[in-house]
Amino acid sequence: MTRVKKTSSKRAPCWTAEEDAALREAYRLKLPTRTIAAQLGRTVIAVRRRAANTATARPKDRWTLQCDANLRELHASGLPYSEIASC
């Protein structure tokens, strides 16, 4: 007997231009995602996905060249990873 995966018949409504604008503004103001979701009547996951799909997402913290150089120096000195991580 094969099982058929049930899909929900409930689908969220499509995002409107007004919601996209509100999302961009909320991200610009650095509001918490939970707050944005509540304001838009969407789930936190929906807000994160929409932001990622529309290039609105917040940039991730990136390593700087100086951070890389410091990490390489600490590693080359023979410092254990556990101590490097605590620096």
At 28-57, the pLDDT tens digits run 999 999 999 999 999 999 999 999 888 777
What pLDDT does residue 47 have? 95
Q: Name the pTM for this structure.
A: 0.56
Domain enclosing residue 40, as ranges = 17-53
* Domain annotation covers residue 37: yes
What pLDDT does residue 29 have? 93
- The average pLDDT across 60-70 equals 81
> Do residues 65 and 49 both lie within one domain?
no
> Do residues 29 and 47 both lie within one domain?
yes
What pLDDT does residue 49 have? 93
Q: Number of structural domains, the chain? A: 2
User: How does DSSP assign 8-75, residue by residue?
Assistant: -S--PPPPPHHHHHHHHHHHHTT--HHHHHHHHT--HHHHHHHHHHTT-SPPPP---HHHHHHHHHHH
